[in-house]
A = this chain, B = another copy of it.
Amino acid sequence: MAVSKRKRARVVRGVQYGILVAVVILVILFADWGAIRDAFFNLDAAGTQVPQIFTSALVNTALYTLLGFAFGLALGLVLALMKLSSVPPYRWLATIYIEFFRGVPALLVFITLGFGVPIAFQIKFGLYTTVMLALGLVGAAYMAETIRAGIQAVPKGQLEAARSLGMSHGRAMITIVIPQAFRIILPPLTNELILLTKDSSLIYVLGLAREEYDLTKFGREGLNETSSLTPILLAGLCYLIITIPLSYLSRYLERRTGRKKAAADTAAALEVKG
Protein backbone atom coordinates (compact mmCIF):
# COMPACT_ATOMS: atom_id res chain seq x y z
CA MET A 1 0.00 0.00 0.00
CA ALA A 2 2.96 2.24 0.62
CA VAL A 3 3.60 2.62 -3.07
CA SER A 4 0.40 4.44 -3.93
CA LYS A 5 0.24 8.19 -4.21
CA ARG A 6 3.67 8.94 -2.94
CA LYS A 7 3.30 12.62 -3.39
CA ARG A 8 0.04 12.93 -1.58
CA ALA A 9 1.52 10.94 1.29
CA ARG A 10 4.45 13.32 1.43
CA VAL A 11 2.13 16.32 1.62
CA VAL A 12 0.02 14.72 4.35
CA ARG A 13 3.08 13.96 6.39
CA GLY A 14 4.37 17.49 5.91
CA VAL A 15 1.11 18.91 7.24
CA GLN A 16 1.28 16.64 10.27
CA TYR A 17 4.78 17.73 11.14
CA GLY A 18 3.72 21.33 10.57
CA ILE A 19 0.93 21.08 13.10
CA LEU A 20 3.31 19.52 15.61
CA VAL A 21 5.85 22.30 15.23
CA ALA A 22 3.15 24.97 15.46
CA VAL A 23 1.79 23.51 18.70
CA VAL A 24 5.27 23.31 20.21
CA ILE A 25 5.96 26.94 19.30
CA LEU A 26 2.64 28.08 20.72
CA VAL A 27 3.32 26.33 24.01
CA ILE A 28 6.79 27.86 24.20
CA LEU A 29 5.44 31.35 23.58
CA PHE A 30 2.36 31.01 25.69
CA ALA A 31 3.69 29.46 28.88
CA ASP A 32 5.25 31.46 31.65
CA TRP A 33 8.45 29.47 31.88
CA GLY A 34 9.75 31.18 34.95
CA ALA A 35 6.60 30.39 36.84
CA ILE A 36 6.61 26.86 35.53
CA ARG A 37 10.15 26.33 36.67
CA ASP A 38 9.38 27.76 40.09
CA ALA A 39 6.24 25.72 40.42
CA PHE A 40 7.30 22.39 39.01
CA PHE A 41 11.07 22.27 39.22
CA ASN A 42 11.89 24.04 42.43
CA LEU A 43 15.14 22.52 43.61
CA ASP A 44 14.81 23.96 47.12
CA ALA A 45 11.39 22.42 47.50
CA ALA A 46 12.66 19.15 46.09
CA GLY A 47 15.52 19.24 48.57
CA THR A 48 13.22 19.27 51.56
CA GLN A 49 11.40 16.22 50.18
CA VAL A 50 14.31 13.97 49.32
CA PRO A 51 15.21 11.48 50.71
CA GLN A 52 12.08 10.93 52.86
CA ILE A 53 9.86 10.66 49.83
CA PHE A 54 11.82 7.59 48.78
CA THR A 55 12.67 6.06 52.13
CA SER A 56 9.30 6.63 53.74
CA ALA A 57 6.46 7.73 51.46
CA LEU A 58 7.28 5.48 48.50
CA VAL A 59 7.84 2.54 50.80
CA ASN A 60 4.56 3.21 52.59
CA THR A 61 2.61 3.42 49.34
CA ALA A 62 4.09 0.13 48.20
CA LEU A 63 3.40 -1.45 51.57
CA TYR A 64 -0.22 -0.29 51.75
CA THR A 65 -0.79 -1.45 48.19
CA LEU A 66 0.66 -4.88 48.81
CA LEU A 67 -1.37 -5.31 52.00
CA GLY A 68 -4.54 -4.44 50.12
CA PHE A 69 -3.56 -6.60 47.16
CA ALA A 70 -2.88 -9.65 49.29
CA PHE A 71 -6.17 -9.39 51.13
CA GLY A 72 -8.03 -8.50 47.95
CA LEU A 73 -6.59 -11.49 46.09
CA ALA A 74 -7.64 -13.90 48.81
CA LEU A 75 -11.11 -12.40 49.10
CA GLY A 76 -11.36 -12.18 45.32
CA LEU A 77 -10.60 -15.88 44.94
CA VAL A 78 -13.30 -16.71 47.48
CA LEU A 79 -15.78 -14.44 45.66
CA ALA A 80 -14.86 -15.95 42.28
CA LEU A 81 -15.48 -19.46 43.56
CA MET A 82 -18.74 -18.25 45.14
CA LYS A 83 -19.82 -16.82 41.79
CA LEU A 84 -19.09 -20.16 40.12
CA SER A 85 -20.73 -22.09 42.96
CA SER A 86 -23.76 -24.31 42.41
CA VAL A 87 -25.36 -22.89 45.59
CA PRO A 88 -27.51 -19.90 44.55
CA PRO A 89 -27.19 -17.81 47.77
CA TYR A 90 -23.41 -17.78 47.33
CA ARG A 91 -23.76 -16.59 43.77
CA TRP A 92 -26.19 -13.88 44.89
CA LEU A 93 -23.97 -12.70 47.71
CA ALA A 94 -20.94 -12.56 45.46
CA THR A 95 -22.86 -10.70 42.77
CA ILE A 96 -24.20 -8.12 45.22
CA TYR A 97 -20.76 -7.61 46.69
CA ILE A 98 -19.09 -7.20 43.33
CA GLU A 99 -21.74 -4.88 41.91
CA PHE A 100 -21.65 -2.74 45.01
CA PHE A 101 -17.92 -2.29 45.30
CA ARG A 102 -17.42 -1.80 41.59
CA GLY A 103 -20.10 0.86 41.49
CA VAL A 104 -19.13 3.04 44.44
CA PRO A 105 -16.12 5.38 44.62
CA ALA A 106 -13.23 4.07 46.70
CA LEU A 107 -13.29 7.30 48.69
CA LEU A 108 -16.74 6.50 50.06
CA VAL A 109 -15.61 2.98 50.96
CA PHE A 110 -12.61 4.36 52.81
CA ILE A 111 -14.69 6.85 54.80
CA THR A 112 -17.28 4.24 55.63
CA LEU A 113 -14.70 1.71 56.70
CA GLY A 114 -12.52 4.16 58.58
CA PHE A 115 -15.29 5.95 60.43
CA GLY A 116 -18.61 4.21 59.92
CA VAL A 117 -17.81 0.62 60.72
CA PRO A 118 -15.98 1.44 63.99
CA ILE A 119 -19.05 3.39 65.12
CA ALA A 120 -21.50 0.70 64.10
CA PHE A 121 -19.59 -2.30 65.43
CA GLN A 122 -17.83 -0.57 68.32
CA ILE A 123 -14.54 -2.02 67.14
CA LYS A 124 -11.30 -0.36 66.31
CA PHE A 125 -8.73 -1.42 63.75
CA GLY A 126 -5.10 -0.38 63.58
CA LEU A 127 -4.05 1.61 60.53
CA TYR A 128 -2.57 -1.34 58.67
CA THR A 129 -5.67 -3.41 59.20
CA THR A 130 -7.88 -0.57 58.05
CA VAL A 131 -5.79 0.02 54.96
CA MET A 132 -5.69 -3.69 54.17
CA LEU A 133 -9.44 -3.96 54.55
CA ALA A 134 -10.24 -0.78 52.68
CA LEU A 135 -7.99 -1.37 49.69
CA GLY A 136 -8.67 -5.09 49.78
CA LEU A 137 -12.45 -4.73 49.77
CA VAL A 138 -12.26 -2.49 46.72
CA GLY A 139 -9.64 -4.61 44.98
CA ALA A 140 -11.44 -7.88 45.68
CA ALA A 141 -14.42 -6.84 43.59
CA TYR A 142 -12.19 -6.34 40.57
CA MET A 143 -10.04 -9.37 41.14
CA ALA A 144 -13.06 -11.62 41.69
CA GLU A 145 -14.28 -10.88 38.19
CA THR A 146 -10.80 -11.35 36.77
CA ILE A 147 -10.30 -14.69 38.47
CA ARG A 148 -13.75 -15.91 37.49
CA ALA A 149 -13.17 -14.88 33.89
CA GLY A 150 -9.76 -16.59 33.98
CA ILE A 151 -11.24 -19.86 35.18
CA GLN A 152 -13.94 -19.67 32.55
CA ALA A 153 -11.41 -18.78 29.85
CA VAL A 154 -9.66 -22.10 30.21
CA PRO A 155 -11.12 -24.01 27.26
CA LYS A 156 -13.90 -26.37 28.31
CA GLY A 157 -12.04 -29.08 26.45
CA GLN A 158 -9.27 -29.04 29.06
CA LEU A 159 -11.70 -29.96 31.81
CA GLU A 160 -13.40 -32.52 29.56
CA ALA A 161 -10.08 -34.11 28.64
CA ALA A 162 -9.15 -34.36 32.31
CA ARG A 163 -12.52 -35.86 33.21
CA SER A 164 -12.33 -38.32 30.33
CA LEU A 165 -9.03 -39.56 31.79
CA GLY A 166 -10.90 -40.40 35.00
CA MET A 167 -10.02 -37.36 37.13
CA SER A 168 -12.68 -36.11 39.55
CA HIS A 169 -14.03 -32.59 39.09
CA GLY A 170 -12.04 -31.25 42.03
CA ARG A 171 -8.78 -32.83 40.96
CA ALA A 172 -9.26 -31.65 37.38
CA MET A 173 -9.85 -28.10 38.64
CA ILE A 174 -6.74 -28.13 40.84
CA THR A 175 -4.27 -29.86 38.53
CA ILE A 176 -5.49 -28.66 35.13
CA VAL A 177 -7.85 -25.67 35.19
CA ILE A 178 -6.58 -23.38 37.96
CA PRO A 179 -2.90 -23.51 36.90
CA GLN A 180 -3.96 -22.51 33.39
CA ALA A 181 -6.35 -19.86 34.71
CA PHE A 182 -3.52 -18.36 36.74
CA ARG A 183 -1.44 -17.80 33.61
CA ILE A 184 -4.37 -16.18 31.89
CA ILE A 185 -5.10 -13.77 34.74
CA LEU A 186 -1.53 -12.74 35.47
CA PRO A 187 -1.62 -9.75 33.10
CA PRO A 188 -4.99 -8.34 34.28
CA LEU A 189 -3.98 -9.01 37.88
CA THR A 190 -0.90 -6.89 37.35
CA ASN A 191 -3.15 -4.15 36.04
CA GLU A 192 -5.26 -4.38 39.16
CA LEU A 193 -2.13 -3.95 41.23
CA ILE A 194 -1.62 -0.67 39.37
CA LEU A 195 -5.19 0.41 40.09
CA LEU A 196 -4.71 -0.37 43.78
CA THR A 197 -1.47 1.60 43.84
CA LYS A 198 -3.42 4.59 42.61
CA ASP A 199 -6.34 3.98 44.94
CA SER A 200 -3.91 3.93 47.85
CA SER A 201 -3.63 7.70 47.33
CA LEU A 202 -6.99 7.98 49.09
CA ILE A 203 -6.03 6.52 52.42
CA TYR A 204 -5.16 9.96 53.73
CA VAL A 205 -8.83 10.27 54.69
CA LEU A 206 -8.23 7.63 57.35
CA GLY A 207 -5.87 10.01 59.14
CA LEU A 208 -2.13 9.45 59.08
CA ALA A 209 0.80 10.11 61.36
CA ARG A 210 3.83 11.75 59.76
CA GLU A 211 5.76 8.51 59.41
CA GLU A 212 2.72 6.82 57.90
CA TYR A 213 2.31 9.30 55.04
CA ASP A 214 1.93 7.79 51.61
CA LEU A 215 3.15 9.51 48.44
CA THR A 216 0.08 11.64 47.84
CA LYS A 217 -0.19 12.83 51.41
CA PHE A 218 3.51 13.50 51.48
CA GLY A 219 3.29 15.48 48.27
CA ARG A 220 0.33 17.55 49.44
CA GLU A 221 2.06 18.26 52.71
CA GLY A 222 5.09 19.41 50.75
CA LEU A 223 2.86 21.63 48.66
CA ASN A 224 1.69 23.32 51.84
CA GLU A 225 5.14 23.72 53.29
CA THR A 226 6.90 24.98 50.17
CA SER A 227 4.05 26.55 48.18
CA SER A 228 5.58 24.87 45.15
CA LEU A 229 4.12 22.13 43.00
CA THR A 230 7.48 20.36 42.91
CA PRO A 231 6.57 17.99 45.76
CA ILE A 232 3.38 16.95 43.97
CA LEU A 233 5.34 16.38 40.79
CA LEU A 234 7.91 14.36 42.71
CA ALA A 235 5.14 12.25 44.21
CA GLY A 236 3.70 11.72 40.75
CA LEU A 237 7.06 10.54 39.45
CA CYS A 238 7.34 8.14 42.37
CA TYR A 239 4.01 6.61 41.37
CA LEU A 240 5.36 6.16 37.87
CA ILE A 241 8.37 4.35 39.33
CA ILE A 242 5.90 1.75 40.57
CA THR A 243 3.24 1.76 37.89
CA ILE A 244 5.19 1.98 34.63
CA PRO A 245 7.32 -1.12 35.23
CA LEU A 246 4.18 -2.96 36.32
CA SER A 247 2.38 -1.90 33.18
CA TYR A 248 5.27 -3.10 31.01
CA LEU A 249 5.32 -6.35 32.96
CA SER A 250 1.62 -6.78 32.35
CA ARG A 251 2.01 -6.22 28.63
CA TYR A 252 5.00 -8.53 28.48
CA LEU A 253 3.03 -11.30 30.18
CA GLU A 254 0.13 -10.70 27.85
CA ARG A 255 2.35 -10.90 24.78
CA ARG A 256 3.99 -14.06 26.05
CA THR A 257 0.61 -15.73 26.45
CA GLY A 258 -0.36 -14.55 22.98
CA ARG A 259 2.88 -15.63 21.38
CA LYS A 260 2.37 -19.24 22.40
CA LYS A 261 -0.51 -19.52 19.99
CA ALA A 262 1.55 -18.03 17.19
CA ALA A 263 4.33 -20.50 17.92
CA ALA A 264 1.88 -23.36 17.52
CA ASP A 265 0.78 -22.08 14.14
CA THR A 266 4.38 -21.79 12.99
CA ALA A 267 5.16 -25.30 14.18
CA ALA A 268 2.22 -26.64 12.22
CA ALA A 269 3.40 -24.83 9.12
CA LEU A 270 6.92 -26.17 9.52
CA GLU A 271 5.96 -29.80 9.86
CA VAL A 272 4.86 -29.87 6.24
CA LYS A 273 8.21 -28.73 5.00
CA GLY A 274 10.23 -31.01 7.29
- Write the residues of chain A forming the contact surface with B, with a CB cutoff of 8 angstroms: 1, 13, 16-17, 20, 30-32, 35-36, 39-40, 85-87, 89-90, 99-100, 102-108, 111-112, 115-116, 119-122, 163, 169, 194, 198-199, 201-202, 216, 219-220, 223, 229, 232-233, 235-236, 239-240, 242-244, 247
**Chain A: interface secondary structure?**
helix
A40–B16 CA distance with the chains assembled, in angstroms: 57
The 8 closest A-B pairs by CB, nearest first: A103-B243, A105-B201, A116-B229, A105-B198, A36-B120, A39-B120, A103-B240, A104-B236
Among candidates B32, B99, B232, B242, residue contacting A244 with C-beta atoms closer than 8 Å: B99
A236: which B residues are within 8 A, CB to CB?
Answer: 100, 104, 108, 112
Chain B residue contacts of A202, Cβ below 8 A: 105, 107
| Residue pair A240, B104 in contact (C-beta under 8 Å) | yes
A119 → B minimal CB distance (Å): 5
Q: Is the CB of B116 within 8 A of A40?
A: yes
Contacts of A122 in B (CB 8 A): 32, 35
Select A102's contact among B40, B119, B243, beta carbons within 8 Å.
B243
Q: How many copies does the complex hold?
A: 2
Evaluate contact between B13 and A86: CB separation under 8 angstroms: yes
For this complex, 29 residue pairs linking A to B, each with C-beta atoms less than 8 Å apart, are A1-B163, A13-B86, A16-B87, A17-B89, A20-B89, A20-B90, A31-B120, A32-B121, A32-B122, A35-B120, A35-B122, A39-B119, A39-B120, A40-B116, A99-B247, A100-B236, A103-B198, A103-B244, A103-B247, A104-B239, A104-B240, A105-B201, A105-B239, A107-B201, A108-B239, A111-B220, A112-B229, A116-B229, A116-B232
Which residues of B have CB within 8 Å of A219?
108
Alpha-carbon separation in the docked complex, A89 to B20 (Å): 8
User: In whole angstroms, what is the CA distance A16 to B81 when docked?
Assistant: 12
Q: In the complex, A74→B169 CA distance in Å?
A: 49
Query: Could you tell me if B102 and A229 are in contact, using CB atoms closer than 8 angstroms?
Result: no
Closest residue of B by beta carbon distance from A204: B107
For the complex, what is the distance from the CA of A227 to the CA of B17, rounded to whole Å? 59
Q: How far is the CA of A136 from the CA of B269 in the complex (A)?
A: 47
A21, chain B: closest CB distance, angstroms: 10
Q: How distant is A244 from chain B, measured CB to nearest CB, in Å?
A: 5
| A89 surroundings in chain B (CB, below 8 A) | 17, 20
Please, how many angstroms separate the alpha-carbon atoms of A39 and B194 in the complex? 33
* Chain B, Cβ-Cβ closest to A34: B120
8 additional A-B pairs beyond A36-B121, A105-B198, beta carbons within 8 Å, are: A13-B87, A16-B85, A31-B121, A39-B119, A39-B120, A103-B194, A108-B235, A111-B220
